[in-house]
A and B are shown apart, each in its own frame.
Chain A
Amino acid sequence: MGLPRRLIRGGRKDGLGEYEFWALNDLSFEVQAGETLGVIGPNGAGKSTILKLLFHIMSPDKGCIDIAGRVGGLIELGAGFHPYLSGRENVFINGSILGMKQREIRKQYASIVAFAELAEFMDMPVKNFSSGMYARLAFAIAAHAAPDVLIVDEVLAVGDVSFQLKCYDWLAQRRKNGKTTVIVSHDMYAMAASSRCLYIDGGRMQSIGEPRGVIDAYLARSRQARGGEGRKTFVPGKDGKARAEITQVEMLSGGQAAETIDPGENLLIRFHYNAHEPITSPMLALSLFHADGRFPITTNHYLFHVYSGDLLKGQTISGQGVLEVEVPDVHLPVGNYRAKTYFFEGHATNLLFEHDGAAWIEVTRPGYSDGRAMIDHRQNWRVPVKATTT
């Protein structure tokens, strides 16, 4: 970048320089007053750039942005918090940064403190706050500063479950009150609650519209991108390789490989395993996780789980084998599911191998139980191919 250009125009120019790229290109959309627009896409898609453009932090090199009304942003919680200053002092500074008048802050102060549930800590320097307290205070101020158009970036991801639920409630309340919000999040639950979703990838718009469809398109793409690979972790044996592994897992319905499983259908899960070393009392298991994050509290909890239990208890196996389980009358809520397989040793005491994303399956049709999951399914285990037992 030439010195004069940089000095005179702050580096603005038409062509691309070294290490520069178009973060966003050919992107046009409108958000109506009172709408909540969710922006989704993989990392590096340009989501944060959109927010920074809407929030005037950056200005576009080409194109234009029109916003009616005052924009407020929640790109970082507690921007301008000073660690040495007390909670009270920081409320007044941060509130001011978020565009509140001092009089307004004084009026709302009690309410902010109550929302943050930090009444007895307000005179303490925030450097002594736990990260949860810090986030609660910061969010409480932001919630009270809420402007007509709010830009939110991922900030809801911080904090514990009860804090997250509070954030969701607050967002829902905003929507009910007819306030406009543009929100970026990887949490598809929050996104599904918005009025429309915008899916971008590589700086370009992929689709925009009713959340369910856009989210599904995004998940289908990211599932494709992740492919059959998944993520394997294992306990290494003497040669550094896995002591035992589940090489393949098949999900079958009506004798065929199942892409989808609808309520009431029977599911047959077949494990192909390989014990490279003799393993005593092995146990195999599989869980299904809801991949859309439609259940915020359960993102780390399975909705479906099978395990071979006592089937091979007391036996020592080595070599290849097959194990299968039939689950009749499966009932799962609509959505995409990611399978995770486990290989245990000594019944369930020692996890030797796990494979997250070993398979995918989708429930497309809602059943009578939609909204609830039947976790306690019947399981009929069989041993079609037995590994060498000693």
Chain B
Amino acid sequence: MQPTRDFREVLSYRELIFALGMREVRVRFKHTLLGVAWAVIMPLSLMALFTFVFQRVARVETGGIPYPVFVYIGLVPWQLHATILNQSARSLVDNRNLVTKVYFAREVLPLATVLSALVDFCIASLLVVVLMAVHGVSPGPGIFLLPLVVAVQLALGIACALILSGLNLLYRDVQYVLQVLVMLWMFASSVVYPIPTTGLASWLTWLNPMTPILDAYRTLILSSTIRLDPALAVAAAISLVLLFFGWRWFRRVERRFGELA
């Protein structure tokens, strides 16, 4: 394991990551009537659903933030995360013909999926602005720190992508188990309701990196002062450690991918 050499190798495939990522984006919207609009329709319809459930049926306290704004800002990054988990887990298996016929750094395939999920994320993010204007919410000054949060989330996402894609090649069970796990993970994170920072449920804040990440999006966009939760530092540390070891493991099993696929 030589991290700098490995990193340089993966970096040398940036054009291929881009080409394959864009292939996924293009293919996803080919033969659809609404095309790119789906990137917005998905989180928007989930927003409508959760707004109905958590505002009409059960009242959720969101600290003065209009619930649709609260949930949409949670849903857009969550969709990014969920897409990365589900799609990248399949990336090596679905591209079996490439894995067994052409050589390139295998990280390219999960990374291309991350990239294509990122495109949807960017499109869906545009609607946050519209939504805030409609509900009369003005953005806070911390908005310029958002790239930092995105970076932490991507570190976590790439770590998961590498680990899950490799695992799924060894055991295809992974892609089925994931569908349930992703759902559970969503309800263990502050996507549709805030996770209490005190009491019994507070461990979800400290051990689940997604909660501080999602909270950071909301605080930075909505709060009138710049404030970052120390839990985000813990989340960043967990993500980086996971990325480091996940990638090391991926590198080690990668040499067998040609036979396993």
Contacts and interface: CB of A to CB of B under 8 A. Distances in A.
A98 B26 contact: no
A84 B102 contact: no
Interface string B246-261: 0000001111111110
A55 B103 contact: yes
Given A11-B260, A82-B23, A84-B30, A96 B16 contact: yes
A84 B98 contact: no
B51 to A, nearest CB: 35
A10 B101 contact: no
A151 to B, nearest CB: 9
A59 interface: yes
Contacts of B20: 80, 93, 96-97
Contacts of A101: 15
Contacts of A102: 15, 19
A56 B252 CA distance: 14
Given A56-B103, A84-B30, A97 B98 contact: yes
Interface in B14-66: 15-16, 19-20, 23, 26-27, 30-31
Interface string A306-342: 0000000000000000000000000000000000000
B225 interface: no
B101 A75 contact: yes
A92 interface: yes
A114 interface: no
A179 interface: no
A24 B259 CA distance: 15
B27 A11 contact: no
Interface string B88-121: 0000000101111111100000000000000000
A52 B258 contact: yes
Interface in A64-85: 71, 73, 75-76, 79-80, 82, 84-85
A28 B239 CA distance: 45
Contacts of A76: 97, 101-102
B170 interface: yes
Contacts of A52: 100, 258
A6 interface: yes
A99 B15 CA distance: 9
A3 to B, nearest CB: 9
Interface residues on B, range: 20 to 34
A97 B27 contact: no
B19 A9 contact: no
Given A56-B103, A80-B102, A97-B102, A10 B23 contact: no
Nearest to A6: B170
Contacts of A58: 255, 258-259
A16 interface: no
Contact of A85 (B27, B252, B259): B27
Contacts of B252: 8-10
Interface in A171-226: none
Contact of A97 (B16, B167, B256): B16
Contact of B258 (A57, A71, A89, A92): A57
Interface string A35-77: 0000000000000000010011111000000000001010110
A102 B18 CA distance: 10
A57 B16 contact: no
Given A9-B253, A57-B101, A76-B101, A84 B170 contact: no
B170 A10 contact: yes
Contact of B256 (A12, A80, A85, A99): A12
Contacts of B104: 97, 99
A94 to B, nearest CB: 9
Contacts of B19: 92-93, 96-97, 102
A79 B98 contact: yes
A73 B253 contact: no
A326 B252 CA distance: 69
B100 A57 contact: yes
A52 B23 CA distance: 26
B253 A10 contact: yes
A89 B26 contact: yes
Given A9-B252, A92-B19, A93-B23, A71 B260 contact: no
* A8, A80, A82, A93 pick with most chain B CB within 10 angstroms: A80
A54 to B, nearest CB: 10
A110 to B, nearest CB: 19
Nearest to B259: A58
A7 B26 contact: no
Q: Which 6 interchain pairs have the tightest Cβ spacing?
A: A10-B253, A10-B256, A57-B258, A96-B19, A59-B255, A76-B101
10 contacts: A11-B260, A12-B256, A52-B258, A59-B256, A59-B258, A76-B97, A80-B23, A85-B23, A85-B26, A89-B23
Interface of B: 15-16, 19-20, 23, 26-27, 30-31, 95, 97-104, 167, 170, 252-260
Interface of A: 6-12, 52, 55-59, 71, 73, 75-76, 79-80, 82, 84-85, 89, 92-93, 96-99, 101-102
Given A9-B252, A57-B100, A98-B102, 19 more contacts: A6-B170, A8-B252, A10-B255, A11-B170, A11-B259, A11-B260, A58-B255, A59-B258, A73-B101, A73-B103, A75-B101, A80-B98, A82-B27, A89-B23, A93-B19, A93-B23, A96-B15, A97-B102, A102-B19
